[in-house]
Structure 1
Amino acid sequence: MPQATSYPWYLVGSLYLLIMHPSGDAATLDAILEPIAPSVRKWASLVVVDGEESSPSFRWYHYRDSEHAIDFWPASTIKIYTAVAALEYLNQLSVSSDSALIFERQVGDRWQVDAARTPREMISEVFRRSSNEDYTLLLRFVGIDRINTQFLIPEKGFPHSALMRDYVVHRPVVYENTEPQRIRIVEPDGKRREVTHTWTGLSYAKQRGATILSDTTGNATSTRELAECLRRIFFAEVLPPEEKYQLTDQQLAWIRHGEDGLVGLENKSAGPYAWTDGIETFLPNARYFHKAGLISNYVLDVAYVEDEALNVKFILSLAAHTGDGKVIGQMA
């Protein structure tokens, strides 16, 4: 038994047993997680994938009221949302993800150039090192109004989520949302176009019930919605049309695995909290796709885990009101 494990020995592997045997229910997940760091508030959602690859079924479990709870800070996990939303927007514009995006803000009667990046570079850095700068630029590209009215909506699996805040405070990257934004797009073949937007001032955080850090300019989501995002990414080929993100097969492949030196969700970088001291102990050969988040008093990890040899597939979305990543490992 690893010395770092502080919960009762007889619960070790209980999560694995719940995954392997469909007789468990929500009360079973409560019983598994309750003794872990009992003084720490926790949130968790688990999706177990059963059946054939061509027609899987999904068993959902939630710890306590986690299914609808958004009373925690999502930290960097929500960077996944900006990655998918940016790709959907590019596809709507019929623009390649290898295009250069030149970010500008209006200063008086002129436009000030702040940065230039390709979408693939930004998304890779979000997964490789959880880049706050690239997350902020992705949010600047999509815009607060668009991401909250076109992507973070119930039809796409987000009844409670809101994104209002970037994660940097310095120029030239910071997204001062009251400033008009212009993004000039230079495609690989030299074609040029631009998009502009200015935030309407509507608080989507307040509209959706955010309470942490700010009820008007905070970010919010649930462990269920994080898990649902991964479900739609990893099972796109077998989902009904209304549950599919508007991504190409190539985009799905590299957001999952990365390619050409760029990083996707399949990595153990930037806080693999659910893997270390957790999933690794009972599924050491599994493939691990994840996005973690950490600030001083919240730690999170949302992961898709697949072990083909054992025919095990599940999505685990975990959050804890602590700055200690080991708690997430124990929960897993």
Structure 2
Amino acid sequence: MRLPGLFILFGMLSLSVSAQRNDTWLKELLYAKGSPALKNILDNPDTYRYQILFTQIDRDRHNQPHFRSFALNLDRALYFNPASTVKLPTALAALEKLNELKVNGLNKFTPMLTDSAFGGQTSVLRDSTSENGLPSVAHYIKKIFLVSDNDAYNRLYEFNGQQELNERLWKKGYRDVRITRRFVPMNEEENRHTNPVSFVKDGNVVYRQTEAVSKIRFDFSKRILLGKAYYDRSEKLVNEPMDFTRHNNFPLEDQQSILRSVMFPESVAKRKRFNLTRDDYEFLYRYMRMLPGESLVPRYDTTEFFDSYAKFFWFRATKSNIPSYLNVYSKAGWSYGFLTDNAYIADTENRCEFLISATIYVNSDGVLNDDKYDYETIGYPFFKELGEILYQNELKRERKYKPDLSCLASHEKSAPNQVK
């Protein structure tokens, strides 16, 4: 199968940039252009636990892209809570699973009904936000990218199954990725158990999946403690660091590698790609870049879910609108004082493009679960300034061949977005 439009690529390049963990070019650029606030962050990596991975893209005369990555404080051993960024590989794994089941009548649009069979589980038989009132993998994925919907992620986690989800990612070479939990209060044993699921068409069950129990044992040998205190589930203050040892883990370079495997499939080793159809790619491209205000089904309150709600790089800090010529394909996450965004950005007016991924920890009081984080004062401004500096540099950077990004028009923002 030839891969879609713009994204037919070559050049199997590794995204492992450990040798560029503190790249001189990137550091000098950020210090030369950065404000005192940004320089203060850069001068205090232990406090802010930031990591930055920036990838330039240059096209040749055949419009084939070549990549060059730069990193600052990049360290896969430096833990950050990935929050909703794990929703990207979970969505991709769900699409791949559907394709590999090869069941007649089963696809991402087939209504998916979730039952319950273990402690903490809940069932889902209807979805009032969908056009037909029924849940589906496609509709869950759409909500994940539009507003980072947690329940949608939980349902795809359950369809994948904890063991199958992680083993699928490990087989692709993402050995340090660990997805252990839903985004709802559950203990470790409850998260190992995932719900029975049925897919129905015209009232008939086309595929039934029984309850799954994960048998894998994660490597929790490295203890991860953060902060000086935290509030537990009963809202009691515990005066000791919070333990993240058994939480999800998703290193930044793996985040960009997985994003690149979607946007530029042929630029990564075949084993790192997901088994997706042409329609899957087009579906992902549409909803990874669509903004909440452009969605008709569901229709979102744009006061709460403004256009830059989940687009951190230089828009989220001011809640500003994103220009129509800037196409941002991304998945962000935020929790426990950590902010992370992983994006491919293409400017069709000025004809430039790049990949940018970053994370930062902004929790000046050192207390976790108190909902008092420095997102607005430090975190979002960090992404705004970082994005602006790198974007402005890319606008000025000489290129022998300007990229042809015309195929982005096929993923038009105003396209009908019904989930069939």
Q: TM-score, normalised by structure 2?
A: 0.62
Q: Mark the CA change 1:290 to 1:200 in structure 2 (over 3 Å): closer, same or farther.
A: closer
Query: 1:204, 1:216 within 8 Å by CA — same for their partners in 2?
Result: no
Q: Mark the CA change 1:216 to 1:144 in structure 2 (over 3 Å): closer, same or farther.
A: farther
User: Residue 274 of structure 1 aligns with which residue?
Assistant: 313
User: Residue 17 of structure 2 aligns with which residue?
Assistant: none
Question: Do residues 81 (structure 1) and 89 (structure 2) align?
Answer: yes
Amino acid across the alignment from 1:211: I
Q: Mark the CA change 1:140 to 1:286 in structure 2 (over 3 Å): closer, same or farther.
A: same
TM-superposed CA distance for 1:101, in Å, is 1.6
Question: Do residues 292 (structure 1) and 347 (structure 2) align?
Answer: no
Amino acid across the alignment from 2:114: F
Specify the SS of the correspondent of 1:133.
helix
Separation in 2, partners of 1:159, 1:43: 19
Per-residue CA deviations over 1:152-175 (Å, capped at 9, x if unaligned) read 22x5352311100111138xxx99
Query: 2:182, 2:191 within 8 Å by CA — same for their partners in 1?
Result: no
User: Residue 242 of structure 1 aligns with which residue?
Assistant: 271
Separation in 1, partners of 2:297, 2:343: 19
Q: Mark the CA change 1:214 to 1:247 in structure 2 (over 3 Å): closer, same or farther.
A: farther
User: Residue 182 of structure 2 aligns with which residue?
Assistant: 166
Aligned partner of 1:211 among 220, 224, 230: 224
User: Residue 131 of structure 1 aligns with which residue?
Assistant: 149
Separation in 2, partners of 1:234, 1:118: 23
Structure 2: which 5+ runs fail to align? 1-21, 32-38, 126-134, 226-241, 299-305, 363-373, 388-420
Question: Do residues 59 (structure 1) and 68 (structure 2) align?
Answer: yes
User: Residue 28 of structure 2 aligns with which residue?
Assistant: 31
Specify the SS of the correspondent of 1:275.
coil
User: Residue 114 of structure 2 aligns with which residue?
Assistant: 103
Identity %: 22
Q: Mark the CA change 1:191 to 1:183 in structure 2 (over 3 Å): closer, same or farther.
A: closer
Q: Mark the CA change 1:185 to 1:158 in structure 2 (over 3 Å): closer, same or farther.
A: same
TM-superposed CA distance for 1:236, in Å, is 2.1
Per-residue CA deviations over 1:9-62 (Å, capped at 9, x if unaligned) read xxxxxxxxxxxxxxxx82222334562524422111112211236532111222
TM-superposed CA distance for 1:88, in Å, is 0.6
Separation in 2, partners of 1:314, 1:262: 30
TM-superposed CA distance for 1:216, in Å, is 5.0
Separation in 1, partners of 2:112, 2:353: 37
Q: Alpha carbon RMSD of aligned pairs, Å?
A: 3.3
Specify the SS of the correspondent of 2:342.
strand
Amino acid across the alignment from 1:227: Q
Query: 1:82, 1:135 within 8 Å by CA — same for their partners in 2?
Result: yes
Q: Mark the CA change 1:179 to 1:78 in structure 2 (over 3 Å): closer, same or farther.
A: closer
TM-superposed CA distance for 1:243, in Å, is 3.9
Specify the SS of the correspondent of 2:55.
strand
User: Residue 327 of structure 1 aligns with which residue?
Assistant: 382
Separation in 1, partners of 2:95, 2:274: 9
Q: TM-score, normalised by structure 1?
A: 0.77
Separation in 1, partners of 2:192, 2:173: 28
User: Residue 256 of structure 1 aligns with which residue?
Assistant: 285
TM-superposed CA distance for 1:190, in Å, is 3.8
Separation in 2, partners of 1:201, 1:242: 24
| 4+ aligned runs moved over 6 Å, structure 1 | none
Query: 2:53, 2:356 within 8 Å by CA — same for their partners in 1?
Result: yes
Specify the SS of the correspondent of 2:284.
helix
Specify the SS of the correspondent of 1:218.
coil
TM-superposed CA distance for 1:107, in Å, is 5.1
Separation in 2, partners of 1:160, 1:81: 13
TM-superposed CA distance for 1:177, in Å, is 2.2
Alignment of 1:83-232 (within 5 A): 83-94=91-102, 95-106=106-117, 114-116=123-125, 117-150=135-168, 152-153=169-170, 156-169=172-185, 176-179=190-193, 181-187=195-201, 190-204=204-218, 206=220, 211=224, 214=243, 216-232=245-261
Q: Mark the CA change 1:247 to 1:228 in structure 2 (over 3 Å): closer, same or farther.
A: same
Separation in 1, partners of 2:243, 2:216: 14
Report the structure number with the largest CA radius of gyration: 2
Give the number of the structure whose residues are more often strand, by fraction.
Answer: 1
TM-superposed CA distance for 1:124, in Å, is 0.8
Q: Mark the CA change 1:124 to 1:262 in structure 2 (over 3 Å): closer, same or farther.
A: farther
TM-superposed CA distance for 1:219, in Å, is 0.4
Amino acid across the alignment from 2:311: P
* Number of equivalent positions: 294
Amino acid across the alignment from 2:355: I
TM-superposed CA distance for 1:298, in Å, is 0.8
Specify the SS of the correspondent of 1:47.
strand
Separation in 2, partners of 1:276, 1:79: 21
TM-superposed CA distance for 1:139, in Å, is 0.5
Query: 1:203, 1:216 within 8 Å by CA — same for their partners in 2?
Result: no
Aligned partner of 2:357 among 317, 322, 329: 317
Specify the SS of the correspondent of 2:143.
helix
Amino acid across the alignment from 1:78: V
Separation in 1, partners of 2:253, 2:197: 33
TM-superposed CA distance for 1:72, in Å, is 0.5
Query: 1:163, 1:205 within 8 Å by CA — same for their partners in 2?
Result: no
Specify the SS of the correspondent of 2:333.
strand
Query: 2:309, 2:316 within 8 Å by CA — same for their partners in 1?
Result: no
Specify the SS of the correspondent of 1:114.
coil
Q: Mark the CA change 1:225 to 1:180 in structure 2 (over 3 Å): closer, same or farther.
A: closer
Q: Mark the CA change 1:231 to 1:157 in structure 2 (over 3 Å): closer, same or farther.
A: farther
